Amino acid sequence: MTRAKVYVTRRLPEAALELLSRHTDMEVNPGERSLTRQELIGKVRGCDAVLCLLTDTIDDEVLAAAGPQCRIFANYAVGYNNIDVAAATRRGIIIANTPDVLTDATADLAWALLLAVARRVAEGDKANRSGLFKGWEPLFMLGREVSGKILGIIGAGRIGQAVARRGCGFAMKVIYSASRPNPELEAATGARFVAREELLREADFVSLHVPLTPATHHLIGERELAMMKPTAILINTARGPVVDEKALVAALRTGRIWGAGLDVFEREPVLEPGLAELPNAVILPHLGSATEETRTRMGLVAVENILAALDGRTPPNGVNIKEALAARSGG
Protein backbone atom coordinates (compact mmCIF):
# COMPACT_ATOMS: atom_id res chain seq x y z
CA MET A 1 0.00 0.00 0.00
CA THR A 2 1.43 3.43 -0.85
CA ARG A 3 1.95 5.67 2.12
CA ALA A 4 0.89 9.31 2.23
CA LYS A 5 3.56 11.76 1.10
CA VAL A 6 4.33 14.44 3.68
CA TYR A 7 6.84 17.28 3.53
CA VAL A 8 8.24 18.93 6.70
CA THR A 9 9.77 22.33 5.98
CA ARG A 10 12.37 22.26 8.80
CA ARG A 11 13.83 19.78 11.28
CA LEU A 12 11.66 19.37 14.39
CA PRO A 13 12.15 17.59 17.73
CA GLU A 14 12.87 13.92 17.08
CA ALA A 15 9.74 12.51 18.77
CA ALA A 16 7.49 14.29 16.26
CA LEU A 17 9.48 13.19 13.22
CA GLU A 18 9.65 9.63 14.54
CA LEU A 19 5.86 9.49 14.90
CA LEU A 20 5.29 10.96 11.46
CA SER A 21 7.79 8.64 9.78
CA ARG A 22 6.09 5.60 11.32
CA HIS A 23 2.89 6.40 9.43
CA THR A 24 3.87 8.29 6.30
CA ASP A 25 6.45 8.66 3.59
CA MET A 26 8.05 11.73 5.15
CA GLU A 27 10.68 14.07 3.79
CA VAL A 28 12.28 16.75 5.96
CA ASN A 29 14.24 19.80 4.87
CA PRO A 30 17.65 18.84 6.28
CA GLY A 31 19.08 22.37 5.94
CA GLU A 32 19.87 24.97 8.58
CA ARG A 33 17.67 27.59 6.93
CA SER A 34 14.11 28.05 5.72
CA LEU A 35 13.40 27.09 2.14
CA THR A 36 13.28 29.79 -0.48
CA ARG A 37 9.89 30.34 -2.04
CA GLN A 38 10.87 28.39 -5.18
CA GLU A 39 12.27 25.52 -3.11
CA LEU A 40 9.07 25.41 -1.06
CA ILE A 41 6.91 25.36 -4.18
CA GLY A 42 9.01 22.51 -5.57
CA LYS A 43 8.93 20.48 -2.35
CA VAL A 44 5.18 20.65 -1.62
CA ARG A 45 4.30 19.49 -5.15
CA GLY A 46 2.31 16.24 -4.98
CA CYS A 47 2.23 16.09 -1.16
CA ASP A 48 -0.79 14.80 0.76
CA ALA A 49 0.16 16.94 3.75
CA VAL A 50 2.68 19.62 4.64
CA LEU A 51 4.04 20.48 8.08
CA CYS A 52 5.09 24.12 7.83
CA LEU A 53 6.46 26.89 10.05
CA LEU A 54 5.46 30.46 10.80
CA THR A 55 8.43 31.53 8.66
CA ASP A 56 6.92 29.86 5.54
CA THR A 57 4.56 32.05 3.54
CA ILE A 58 1.76 29.75 2.46
CA ASP A 59 -0.24 31.63 -0.16
CA ASP A 60 -2.47 30.51 -3.01
CA GLU A 61 0.50 29.77 -5.29
CA VAL A 62 2.05 27.40 -2.75
CA LEU A 63 -1.32 25.74 -2.05
CA ALA A 64 -1.93 25.33 -5.78
CA ALA A 65 1.53 23.81 -6.21
CA ALA A 66 0.72 21.18 -3.57
CA GLY A 67 -2.14 19.99 -5.77
CA PRO A 68 -5.75 18.86 -5.31
CA GLN A 69 -4.79 15.65 -3.43
CA CYS A 70 -3.30 17.72 -0.57
CA ARG A 71 -5.48 17.51 2.54
CA ILE A 72 -3.76 19.63 5.15
CA PHE A 73 -1.10 22.23 5.91
CA ALA A 74 -0.32 21.86 9.62
CA ASN A 75 1.43 24.93 11.01
CA TYR A 76 4.00 24.39 13.76
CA ALA A 77 2.69 27.43 15.70
CA VAL A 78 -0.47 28.69 17.30
CA GLY A 79 -0.44 31.80 15.10
CA TYR A 80 -1.21 31.20 11.42
CA ASN A 81 -0.99 34.69 9.90
CA ASN A 82 1.62 33.25 7.50
CA ILE A 83 -1.13 31.24 5.76
CA ASP A 84 -3.85 32.42 3.39
CA VAL A 85 -6.62 30.47 5.09
CA ALA A 86 -9.32 31.69 2.68
CA ALA A 87 -7.33 30.38 -0.28
CA ALA A 88 -6.79 27.04 1.47
CA THR A 89 -10.49 26.78 2.23
CA ARG A 90 -11.39 27.44 -1.42
CA ARG A 91 -9.06 24.58 -2.37
CA GLY A 92 -10.51 22.26 0.26
CA ILE A 93 -7.24 22.19 2.24
CA ILE A 94 -7.45 22.10 6.02
CA ILE A 95 -5.23 24.47 7.98
CA ALA A 96 -4.29 23.43 11.50
CA ASN A 97 -2.27 25.01 14.32
CA THR A 98 -0.83 24.07 17.74
CA PRO A 99 -2.79 25.87 20.47
CA ASP A 100 -2.77 25.09 24.23
CA VAL A 101 0.59 23.30 24.39
CA LEU A 102 2.57 26.54 24.21
CA THR A 103 0.38 28.70 26.45
CA ASP A 104 2.45 28.39 29.63
CA ALA A 105 5.84 28.68 27.93
CA THR A 106 4.76 31.85 26.12
CA ALA A 107 3.18 33.37 29.24
CA ASP A 108 6.37 32.60 31.18
CA LEU A 109 8.43 34.38 28.55
CA ALA A 110 6.15 37.43 28.59
CA TRP A 111 6.80 37.56 32.32
CA ALA A 112 10.54 37.09 31.82
CA LEU A 113 10.48 40.16 29.57
CA LEU A 114 8.31 42.14 31.96
CA LEU A 115 10.65 41.52 34.88
CA ALA A 116 13.77 41.98 32.77
CA VAL A 117 12.68 45.42 31.54
CA ALA A 118 11.27 46.61 34.88
CA ARG A 119 14.33 45.53 36.87
CA ARG A 120 16.89 46.22 34.13
CA VAL A 121 18.12 42.63 34.13
CA ALA A 122 19.73 42.58 30.68
CA GLU A 123 21.23 46.04 31.14
CA GLY A 124 22.57 45.14 34.60
CA ASP A 125 24.12 41.92 33.32
CA LYS A 126 25.83 43.79 30.50
CA ALA A 127 27.07 46.54 32.86
CA ASN A 128 28.50 43.99 35.27
CA ARG A 129 30.33 42.07 32.54
CA SER A 130 31.84 45.29 31.25
CA GLY A 131 33.22 46.30 34.65
CA LEU A 132 30.72 49.08 35.42
CA PHE A 133 29.80 47.62 38.84
CA LYS A 134 31.93 49.49 41.36
CA GLY A 135 30.07 48.31 44.47
CA TRP A 136 26.56 48.78 45.85
CA GLU A 137 25.19 52.30 45.37
CA PRO A 138 21.87 53.81 46.50
CA LEU A 139 21.02 55.22 43.09
CA PHE A 140 22.59 52.67 40.74
CA MET A 141 20.34 51.19 38.02
CA LEU A 142 16.99 51.85 39.63
CA GLY A 143 14.11 50.08 37.91
CA ARG A 144 10.37 50.00 38.37
CA GLU A 145 8.46 48.08 41.02
CA VAL A 146 6.27 45.24 39.71
CA SER A 147 4.36 44.00 42.75
CA GLY A 148 1.02 45.69 43.30
CA LYS A 149 1.06 47.56 39.99
CA ILE A 150 -1.57 47.56 37.22
CA LEU A 151 -1.20 44.88 34.56
CA GLY A 152 -3.05 45.61 31.30
CA ILE A 153 -3.71 42.64 29.03
CA ILE A 154 -4.79 43.28 25.44
CA GLY A 155 -6.40 40.10 24.09
CA ALA A 156 -7.95 37.67 26.55
CA GLY A 157 -7.28 34.37 24.79
CA ARG A 158 -5.37 31.47 26.33
CA ILE A 159 -1.98 33.23 26.56
CA GLY A 160 -3.41 36.56 27.72
CA GLN A 161 -5.27 34.76 30.50
CA ALA A 162 -2.15 32.83 31.54
CA VAL A 163 -0.15 36.08 31.74
CA ALA A 164 -2.93 37.65 33.83
CA ARG A 165 -3.00 34.67 36.23
CA ARG A 166 0.72 35.06 36.85
CA GLY A 167 0.06 38.73 37.72
CA CYS A 168 -1.97 37.60 40.74
CA GLY A 169 1.19 36.08 42.21
CA PHE A 170 2.63 39.61 42.18
CA ALA A 171 -0.49 41.08 43.79
CA MET A 172 -1.19 43.05 40.64
CA LYS A 173 -4.48 44.63 39.71
CA VAL A 174 -5.39 43.21 36.30
CA ILE A 175 -7.34 45.10 33.64
CA TYR A 176 -7.98 43.75 30.16
CA SER A 177 -9.45 44.68 26.83
CA ALA A 178 -10.78 42.16 24.34
CA SER A 179 -13.53 41.77 21.78
CA ARG A 180 -15.86 40.71 24.59
CA PRO A 181 -15.76 40.28 28.38
CA ASN A 182 -14.31 37.01 29.65
CA PRO A 183 -16.10 35.89 32.85
CA GLU A 184 -13.64 33.00 33.36
CA LEU A 185 -10.69 35.40 33.43
CA GLU A 186 -12.54 37.77 35.74
CA ALA A 187 -13.38 34.95 38.16
CA ALA A 188 -9.80 33.64 38.18
CA THR A 189 -7.98 36.97 38.57
CA GLY A 190 -10.49 39.66 39.54
CA ALA A 191 -9.62 41.33 36.22
CA ARG A 192 -11.71 44.28 35.08
CA PHE A 193 -12.87 44.61 31.45
CA VAL A 194 -12.05 48.10 30.11
CA ALA A 195 -11.90 49.92 26.79
CA ARG A 196 -8.47 49.79 25.12
CA GLU A 197 -7.92 53.55 25.60
CA GLU A 198 -8.61 53.26 29.32
CA LEU A 199 -6.22 50.33 29.58
CA LEU A 200 -3.45 52.26 27.82
CA ARG A 201 -3.92 55.24 30.13
CA GLU A 202 -4.07 53.21 33.38
CA ALA A 203 -1.73 50.26 33.01
CA ASP A 204 1.83 50.19 34.31
CA PHE A 205 2.50 47.17 32.10
CA VAL A 206 0.73 46.59 28.78
CA SER A 207 1.07 43.05 27.43
CA LEU A 208 -0.15 42.18 23.92
CA HIS A 209 -1.87 38.87 23.21
CA VAL A 210 -3.85 39.31 20.00
CA PRO A 211 -3.42 37.38 16.75
CA LEU A 212 -2.08 39.32 13.77
CA THR A 213 -4.98 40.20 11.47
CA PRO A 214 -5.71 43.27 9.33
CA ALA A 215 -7.59 44.67 12.34
CA THR A 216 -4.65 44.29 14.74
CA HIS A 217 -1.90 45.51 12.38
CA HIS A 218 -0.24 48.51 14.15
CA LEU A 219 -2.76 48.26 16.98
CA ILE A 220 -0.12 50.09 19.01
CA GLY A 221 1.21 53.13 17.17
CA GLU A 222 2.19 56.71 17.93
CA ARG A 223 -1.30 57.63 19.17
CA GLU A 224 -1.54 54.66 21.54
CA LEU A 225 2.02 55.11 22.84
CA ALA A 226 1.18 58.75 23.59
CA MET A 227 -1.71 57.57 25.78
CA MET A 228 0.52 55.38 27.95
CA LYS A 229 2.10 56.53 31.21
CA PRO A 230 5.70 57.73 30.83
CA THR A 231 6.55 55.05 33.40
CA ALA A 232 4.77 52.27 31.47
CA ILE A 233 6.36 49.19 29.93
CA LEU A 234 5.10 47.50 26.74
CA ILE A 235 5.48 43.73 26.27
CA ASN A 236 4.96 42.04 22.91
CA THR A 237 5.10 38.25 22.58
CA ALA A 238 2.29 38.15 19.98
CA ARG A 239 3.36 39.22 16.50
CA GLY A 240 5.70 42.06 15.52
CA PRO A 241 3.41 43.96 13.15
CA VAL A 242 0.88 44.48 15.98
CA VAL A 243 3.23 47.31 17.02
CA ASP A 244 4.39 50.15 14.78
CA GLU A 245 8.08 49.60 15.48
CA LYS A 246 9.20 52.98 14.13
CA ALA A 247 6.82 54.74 16.52
CA LEU A 248 7.96 52.49 19.36
CA VAL A 249 11.64 53.25 18.80
CA ALA A 250 10.81 56.98 18.87
CA ALA A 251 8.78 56.57 22.08
CA LEU A 252 11.58 54.64 23.78
CA ARG A 253 14.24 57.06 22.60
CA THR A 254 12.42 60.14 23.88
CA GLY A 255 11.30 58.50 27.12
CA ARG A 256 7.65 58.73 26.05
CA ILE A 257 7.33 55.30 27.67
CA TRP A 258 9.77 53.73 30.12
CA GLY A 259 10.63 50.51 28.36
CA ALA A 260 9.66 47.61 26.14
CA GLY A 261 10.17 43.86 26.12
CA LEU A 262 9.89 42.37 22.66
CA ASP A 263 10.03 38.78 21.48
CA VAL A 264 8.64 39.49 18.00
CA PHE A 265 9.42 42.10 15.35
CA GLU A 266 7.81 43.69 12.33
CA ARG A 267 10.24 42.27 9.77
CA GLU A 268 11.78 39.30 11.57
CA PRO A 269 14.67 38.72 11.82
CA VAL A 270 15.46 42.32 10.79
CA LEU A 271 15.30 44.87 13.62
CA GLU A 272 14.02 48.40 13.22
CA PRO A 273 17.05 50.76 13.00
CA GLY A 274 17.86 52.11 16.44
CA LEU A 275 16.09 49.38 18.39
CA ALA A 276 19.20 47.35 19.23
CA GLU A 277 20.94 50.43 20.66
CA LEU A 278 18.18 51.28 23.15
CA PRO A 279 19.06 50.32 26.75
CA ASN A 280 15.39 50.41 27.76
CA ALA A 281 14.39 47.63 25.35
CA VAL A 282 14.93 43.93 25.93
CA ILE A 283 14.81 42.13 22.60
CA LEU A 284 14.62 38.35 22.35
CA PRO A 285 14.82 36.29 19.14
CA HIS A 286 11.21 34.95 19.09
CA LEU A 287 11.64 32.50 21.98
CA GLY A 288 8.04 32.41 23.30
CA SER A 289 7.54 28.69 22.83
CA ALA A 290 11.22 27.76 22.90
CA THR A 291 11.48 25.09 25.57
CA GLU A 292 12.37 21.50 24.80
CA GLU A 293 9.11 20.26 26.29
CA THR A 294 6.88 22.74 24.47
CA ARG A 295 8.56 22.41 21.07
CA THR A 296 8.21 18.62 21.34
CA ARG A 297 4.53 18.91 22.25
CA MET A 298 3.97 21.33 19.35
CA GLY A 299 5.52 18.79 16.99
CA LEU A 300 3.36 15.95 18.29
CA VAL A 301 0.22 18.10 17.97
CA ALA A 302 1.11 19.11 14.39
CA VAL A 303 1.72 15.45 13.49
CA GLU A 304 -1.56 14.40 15.11
CA ASN A 305 -3.35 17.04 13.01
CA ILE A 306 -1.77 15.56 9.87
CA LEU A 307 -2.44 11.91 10.74
CA ALA A 308 -6.07 12.68 11.52
CA ALA A 309 -6.60 14.51 8.22
CA LEU A 310 -4.92 11.72 6.24
CA ASP A 311 -7.11 9.11 8.01
CA GLY A 312 -10.31 11.02 7.28
CA ARG A 313 -10.69 11.91 10.98
CA THR A 314 -11.23 15.46 12.23
CA PRO A 315 -7.87 17.10 13.02
CA PRO A 316 -8.01 18.27 16.65
CA ASN A 317 -6.82 21.78 15.79
CA GLY A 318 -8.14 22.58 12.33
CA VAL A 319 -9.08 26.24 11.95
CA ASN A 320 -11.25 25.87 8.81
CA ILE A 321 -12.39 22.23 8.92
CA LYS A 322 -16.09 22.57 8.12
CA GLU A 323 -15.57 25.05 5.31
CA ALA A 324 -12.62 23.17 3.78
CA LEU A 325 -14.44 19.84 3.82
CA ALA A 326 -17.53 21.48 2.28
CA ALA A 327 -15.37 22.96 -0.51
CA ARG A 328 -13.70 19.56 -1.09
CA SER A 329 -17.02 17.80 -1.44
CA GLY A 330 -18.20 20.55 -3.81
CA GLY A 331 -20.62 21.98 -1.23
Residue 189 or residue 289: which is nearer to ligand DGY going by CB? 289
Catalytic residue among 120, 239, 295, 297: 239
Residue 240 or residue 259: which is nearer to ligand DGY going by CB? 240
Torsion sign, CA atoms 271, 272, 273, 278 = negative
Task: Please report how close the Cβ of residue 286 comes to ligand DGY at its closest, in angstroms.
Answer: 6
Task: Please report how close the Cβ of residue 109 comes to ligand DGY at its closest, in angstroms.
Answer: 9
Q: Is 286 among the residues known to form the active site?
A: yes
Task: Please report how close the Cβ of residue 261 comes to ligand DGY at its closest, in angstroms.
Answer: 15
As a whole number of angstroms, the distance between CA 301 and CA 12 comes to 12
Task: Give the Å distances, CA to CA, from 42 to 35, 37, 39, 294, 307.
Answer: 10, 9, 5, 30, 23
Q: Is 253 among the residues known to form the active site?
A: no
As a whole number of angstroms, the distance between CA 315 and CA 309 comes to 6
Task: Please report how close the Cβ of residue 111 comes to ligand DGY at its closest, in angstroms.
Answer: 15
What residues make contact with ligand DGY under the rule CB under 6 A?
Answer: 54, 77-79, 102, 288-289
As a whole number of angstroms, the distance between CA 236 and CA 159 comes to 12
Beta strands in the chain (DSSP E): 5-8, 25-28, 49-52, 72-75, 94-96, 150-154, 173-177, 192-193, 205-208, 233-236, 259-262, 281-283
Catalytic residue among 286, 295, 304, 323: 286
Residue 77 or residue 153: which is nearer to ligand DGY going by CB? 77
Residue 79 or residue 160: which is nearer to ligand DGY going by CB? 79
Residue 189 or residue 237: which is nearer to ligand DGY going by CB? 237
79 near 64, Cβ under 8 Å?
A: no
Give helix 103-118 / helix 121-129 axis angle, nearest 10°: 60
As a whole number of angstroms, the distance between CA 157 and CA 188 comes to 14
Q: Give the residues across from 236 on adjacent strands.
A: 208, 262
Q: What is the DSSP code (8-state) at residue 242?
A: G
Tell me the catalytic residues: 239, 268, 286
